[in-house]
């Protein structure tokens, strides 16, 4: 119990009220669902809920293992996405009930992975540990290719799971039972989301234009000053 409390202190340290409330609610709900799925032997659902719980504890994992603190906004985006994709999408079958659910999530995934890619190379560019200076164009290009690569690997994962375990991760779309149309649209909207982030990031670095994750970047720098140059 003491161990669990220490982890919770890290999880909720210096975060805003909305973040605390949402994370607490999701943590309680997911723990109840975890016990339920374990009791009834629903192993796939149990695995998916476990992934959501892991996402909820991401700040703890990052802090304990690599001494990096995540902004509440970045954590919240990741948690809500995991909940929408794994719990609502797979367990409650929103993918089957709402035709645009899969497209919306893959677009969001492109945006998220673009943000992660941008932050990774931005940190590398500004860190005191690596003496390197990259141009805005390269940072934007890296963010785009990072997001597209992750999206491609995810489609390979979906195809592999369907072939090996008879799942239905590649959803039939618009009369195409093969899943090819679903795969292509997933990759297209993922690339669109990645392009939006990378283009916005480029103008932010090159011309000082507004960037919708500017506040997130500033908070990340503030929480992890040792990673950056003065």
Q: Using one digit for the tens of pLDDT, what is the confidence trace for 89-148?
A: 889 989 888 888 988 999 999 999 998 888 888 777 776 565 667 888 988 999 999 999
Residues of the chain with pLDDT under 70: 1-15, 127-132, 174-176, 209-210, 212, 228-230
Answer yes or no: do 116 and 80 share one domain. no
For the entire predicted model, the pTM comes to: 0.82
Task: Residue 182: count other Cβ atoms within 10 Å of its Cβ.
Answer: 22
Examine the fold and report which residue of 92, 123, 157 is the final residue of a domain before the chain moves on.
92
Answer yes or no: do 67 and 138 share one domain. no
Task: Residue 35: count other Cβ atoms within 10 Å of its Cβ.
Answer: 12
Answer yes or no: do 45 and 80 share one domain. yes
Examine the fold and report which residue of 92, 127, 156 is the final residue of a domain before the chain moves on.
92
Domain hosting residue 20, numbered range:
1-92
The pLDDT score that the predictor gives to residue 38 is 93
Answer yes or no: do 2 and 72 share one domain. yes
Answer yes or no: do 59 and 146 share one domain. no
C-alpha to C-alpha distance for 133 and 8, rounded to whole angstroms: 38
How many structural domains are present in the chain? 2
Task: Residue 37: count other Cβ atoms within 10 Å of its Cβ.
Answer: 19
Answer yes or no: do 107 and 69 share one domain. no
Examine the fold and report which residue of 73, 92, 111 is the final residue of a domain before the chain moves on.
92
Answer yes or no: do 157 and 229 share one domain. yes
Answer yes or no: do 158 and 218 share one domain. yes
| Both tokens assigned to 54 | 């892991």
Answer yes or no: do 172 and 78 share one domain. no
Answer yes or no: do 139 and 194 share one domain. yes
C-alpha to C-alpha distance for 99 and 144, rounded to whole angstroms: 26
The residue length of the chain stands at 230
Residue 173 phi/psi, 5° resolution? -135, 135
C-alpha to C-alpha distance for 120 and 167, rounded to whole angstroms: 33
Answer yes or no: do 76 and 175 share one domain. no
The pLDDT score that the predictor gives to residue 190 is 94
| Both tokens assigned to 165 | 């375990």
Mean pLDDT (the chain) is 82
Contact 139, 202 (CB under 8 A): yes
The pLDDT score that the predictor gives to residue 110 is 93
Answer yes or no: do 64 and 175 share one domain. no
Q: Please give the DSSP secondary-structure letter assigned to residue 72.
A: H
* Residue among 113, 117, 169 at smallest CA distance from 139: 117
């Amino acid at each position: 119990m003491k161990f669990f409390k220490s982890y919770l202190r890290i999880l909720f340290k210096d975060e805003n009220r909305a973040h605390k409330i949402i994370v607490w609610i999701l943590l309680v709900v997911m723990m109840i669902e975890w016990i339920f799925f374990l009791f009834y032997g629903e192993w796939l659902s149990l695995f998916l809920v476990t992934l959501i719980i892991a996402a909820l504890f991401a700040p703890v994992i990052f802090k304990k293992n690599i001494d990096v603190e995540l902004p509440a906004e970045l954590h919240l985006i990741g948690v809500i996405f995991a909940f929408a994709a794994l719990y609502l999408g797979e367990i409650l079958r929103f993918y089957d009930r709402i035709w645009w659910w899969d497209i919306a999530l893959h677009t969001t995934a492109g945006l998220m992975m673009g943000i992660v890619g941008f932050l990774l190379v931005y940190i590398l560019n500004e860190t005191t540990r690596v003496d390197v200076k990259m141009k805005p164009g390269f940072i934007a290009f890296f963010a785009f290719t990072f997001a597209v690569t992750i999206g491609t690997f995810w489609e390979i994962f979906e195809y592999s799971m369907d072939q090996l375990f008879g799942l239905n991760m590649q959803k039939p779309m618009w009369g195409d039972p093969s899943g090819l149309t679903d795969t292509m649209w997933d990759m297209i909207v993922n690339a669109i989301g990645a392009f939006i982030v990378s283009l916005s990031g480029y103008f932010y670095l090159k011309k000082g234009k507004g960037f919708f994750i500017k506040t997130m970047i500033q908070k990340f720098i503030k929480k992890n000053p040792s990673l950056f140059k003065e």
